[in-house]
Every structure is written in C-alpha cells, then in structure tokens.
Amino acid sequence: MIITDAALVALRTSFRKTFADAYAQFRADSFYQRVAFTAPSGSRSNTYGWLGEFPGMREWIGDRVIKDLKEDKYEILNRLWEDTVSVRRTDMEDDNLGMYTGMVQGLAEAAGRHPDELIAELMTNGTLQTCYDGQYFFDTDHPVYPNHDGTGVAATVSNFNDGTGPGGTDVPGPTWYLLDTRRTFKPFIFQERSPAEFDALTDAKDNDQVFMKDLFLYGARARHAAGYGFWQMAYASRAPLTAANFEDARLAMRTVTADGGRPLGIKPSIIVVPPSLQSDANRLFKTMVDANGASNPHYQAVEVLDPDWLA
C-alpha cells in the first residue's frame, strides 16, 4: 500500500467501523447492565443527593410532604480511560493488515467489558468502601431511623454476613451476592460521561511516532466511573451457600424498611457467584428435585449469574 493521507483516512474509517460494531456487540452482552443503573453525566462528576430517600408514594392529605434529601450526598467523579496500540509502517507498506483487524476488535472488547470490571470491583470491595450513608456498602450497622425525616435513635441493619458464624469460629468462604435488580434504580451505578470512541494518530508527515519509531497509533478513549447505589438492594455473604443461609439472607433483604418504618418491597432476583460457587448455586437454584428426589423449594428462586471478573 502506498501510504498517503487519503489511504490513512480510509484505513482509519475502516478500523473505526470495526471498532464500533464489536463495541456494540460486547456492550449488549454485558454484566453491568443487569445489576447497575446507568446514569448519564454532563460534567466532571455527579452528586447523588437523592440516595437517602428511597422512592415511595403517600396519600396526599393537606400540603405535600417535601422530602429533604438530608446530608446523604454521594459524589462519583468521572475518570478518563484509554487503550492504545501501534501499527508498523512496514506492515502498511506490505499490505499486512489482516492481523490488525483482530487487534481493533480486541480494543473494542476491552472497552465494552470495562464497565463489567468496574462493577465487579465495587462488589469485591464493598466491605471496604463507603456508600451514601457513610457506612461500608456491605456492612452490619447501616442506620435506619424511626422517623421519616431521619430523626430519632437509629436502629442498625445488616446487609453482610462475614461467614465467621456464632462465636467467630467458622472460616469465611468465597463471597456470594443477592441483588434486587427488578427496578429502575439498582444496587450499583454506572456513570457515563463519554462512551468509548476510536481514534488514530495517522498523519504521515507531522507525526513524531512515525518519524522516530515508524509506528502509527490507534486507540480507544472513554470517560466513565462506577459507584454504589441503594445498599438495601444488595446482600453479601461469606457463609456457605446453603438453603438455610440463602433463606437468612433473603429474609434480611425482604424485611428492610425505609426511615419511618415503611416496607421497601425488596426481593432478591439475582444471585451473583464466583466460579468456585457456581456448582453450588446451580444445585440450589437450577434443579427441580434434590438428591433425595424431593421437590426443591428454591428452584428458580433467583437467577444465577457468574461474571468473569469475580475471583
């Protein structure tokens, strides 16, 4: 191939289409869209002051009751991401570009899967990172107040089982997660400022990379971040994945209330497991009868998800 500006523009256009097609495919088959609310962003960060108020209707008698968003202000700062690869000028001259199509598809896959990695990282670190109420996202002492306005002496609510058992004598196992994802708002937030886009540095004349290293550069760029939503919609456990422990976790989620005692109607719909617990989850939720031939009361109680990014 004779390397001209027109040829480089045509190659960039072809690579850009390859990237866009692959990116759309990987985004469509993504884990994060199942468990996270996608929030558009138009600035360097978003502040989620409304997380302290779980949505709910009331009978309108007299004046409206205006919900004060209290001080539960949770900010997610957008982060800038990139992935860059190089194409040898000699490969262009020799028309040896077939392998680079796969390289561009690999860029698209990495960009499309990146939100999944961020959400899995949030889940893994949920006992170490705080959410809107100032507690760790998975914690044993989330405050819930007796009055709707957040006043009174708070009771503490747990959405975490550390797996140590009574007296702290048991050894914690791998973590499994129960999530309620049936609603618009979900346990996690994926915040998107700029979707991933493909671009190239392909000026044959005024390009230091070409002059010094005989390379053309192609890459992906995106701005996004992830954070925690409603802790009430998630439960993490390091106890063995048994029917009894599942029932305990489900009951804890179903009985959680908003400030003022209003039931929230939480009901887990998904269990997320690492590879080491996939067989246990399948036996518990995907078999109609147990080992003794009796009907399995937990058959299809929740959907089993086993994302690639959980260890």
Domain ranges in the chain are 5-59+67-305
Q: Dig out the tokens for 298 from the structure.
A: 């937990």
- The residue among 273, 227, 270, 222 whose CA lies nearest residue 112 is 222
Q: How far apart are CA 202 and CA 258, in angstroms?
A: 56
More confident position, 158 or 202? 158
Query: Please, which contacts does 58-66 make with residues 24 or more away whose CB atoms are closer than 8 Å?
Result: 65/148
The pLDDT mean for the chain works out to 87
Q: Dig out the tokens for 275 from the structure.
A: 């590879």
* Residue 121: predicted pLDDT: 97
Task: Give pTM, 2 decimals.
Answer: 0.87
* Residue 107: predicted pLDDT: 92
Cβ–Cβ under 8 Å, residues 173 and 249: no
Q: What is the pLDDT of residues 143-164, one digit of tens each?
A: 999 998 888 999 999 999 999 9
Residue where the block lists tokens 């992906």: 220
**What whole-number percentage of the chain has pLDDT above 70?**
86
